[in-house]
Structure 1
Amino acid sequence: MNAVNDQHASAEPPTEATLRALGLETMLAIAAPGRPAGASTAPPPDAPDAAVIELGLVNVWATLWAREGLGRRDRSLVTLGILIALGAETEFTSHVRIALNNGLTKHEITEVICHAAGYAGFPRSMAAAKAARQVLDDLPDETQARVQGES
């Protein structure tokens, strides 16, 4: 059980602070494994993206990614497909890295991109393929070896 589910069991809604803490913990575990505790790249509070990042911590990383029912690997598969369909290449690039951290292989990411072509269209899948290639080409050699699996 996670903090959100623990709160539901007690019938009290989680506080904003609880959700933010869970969101930050979940995001760092998924998006930045191995990052030293306390390290932050948070924007200044008055930066235009600060409010959006805060929304993401609470509404995406705490409320969605920390839910039970799907593992992180499965959530990555779903997220990649959705981002391809939306044509959100910048966000897709970030989630390719996250998917690799969650155990997907290069082959599996390629299959998600190919599968999406039939539903989201060739141009969106081609844009996603280019974004994925950029991420995969920039990986260190030891990571390249790990993600080469056939599935």
Structure 2
Amino acid sequence: MTQISTMPTSTMPYKNAVLDDQQLQQALKKINPKFGDFVTRVAGEAWGLPLIDQKTKALIVITVDVVNQNLLGSGTPFAAHVDMAIKQGVTRAEIEELLLFLCVYAGFNKAAASFGALDEILTD
């Protein structure tokens, strides 16, 4: 599994969580160079939309991962999205509260698996 930083690399959140994060872009290119370039362009444009702030977008992508159970293993985005959220100022406590909230709407089993994955990601 790719090692994820649990501390922001700067004191200020990125203006664009995809386009401003060179570490993320390199990780995407390691999956496949064309895939990395494509995802950077498309996701970068989506993350650049102005009405929803970067922190909220980071919480939304974590929600999508929970609902789809894209949590651990090769090619799954949950660890990258947790890292992205932390870089945007989201705390572990906020992620945990989000997972509790999602118990009601996504299902208790999905939330339980997500808590386990979160623990694994943040203790590595």
Instruction: Identify whether the pair has TM-score above 0.5, normalized to the shorter chain.
Output: yes
Matched, 1:27 2:18: yes
How far apart are 1:30 and its partner, in Å? 4.3
- Preserved CA contact (<8 Å) 1:113 1:128: yes
Equivalent position of 1:94 in the other structure? 80
Matched, 1:82 2:64: yes
Which residue type is aligned with residue 120 of structure 2?
Q
Number of aligned residues:
104
Equivalent position of 1:69 in the other structure? 51
Equivalent position of 2:7 in the other structure? none
How far apart are 1:83 and its partner, in Å? 1.2
Percent same amino acid at aligned positions? Answer: 20
- Preserved CA contact (<8 Å) 1:31 1:98: no
Change (3 A) 1:126 1:98: same
How far apart are 1:74 and its partner, in Å? 0.8
- Preserved CA contact (<8 Å) 2:17 2:88: no
Which residue type is aligned with residue 81 of structure 2?
H
Matched, 1:56 2:44: no
- Give me the whole-angstrom Cα distance separating, in 1, the residues matched to 2:86 and 2:47: 16
- Preserved CA contact (<8 Å) 1:30 1:101: no
- Give me the whole-angstrom Cα distance separating, in 2, the residues matched to 1:114 and 1:108: 10
How far apart are 1:137 and its partner, in Å? 1.5
- Give me the whole-angstrom Cα distance separating, in 1, the residues matched to 2:55 and 2:81: 11
- Give me the whole-angstrom Cα distance separating, in 2, the residues matched to 1:99 and 1:105: 8
Which TM-score applies when normalising by structure 1?
Answer: 0.59
Equivalent position of 1:112 in the other structure? 98
- Preserved CA contact (<8 Å) 1:31 1:97: no
How far apart are 1:26 and its partner, in Å? 4.8
Which TM-score applies when normalising by structure 2?
Answer: 0.71
How far apart are 1:120 and its partner, in Å? 1.2
How far apart are 1:125 and its partner, in Å? 1.2
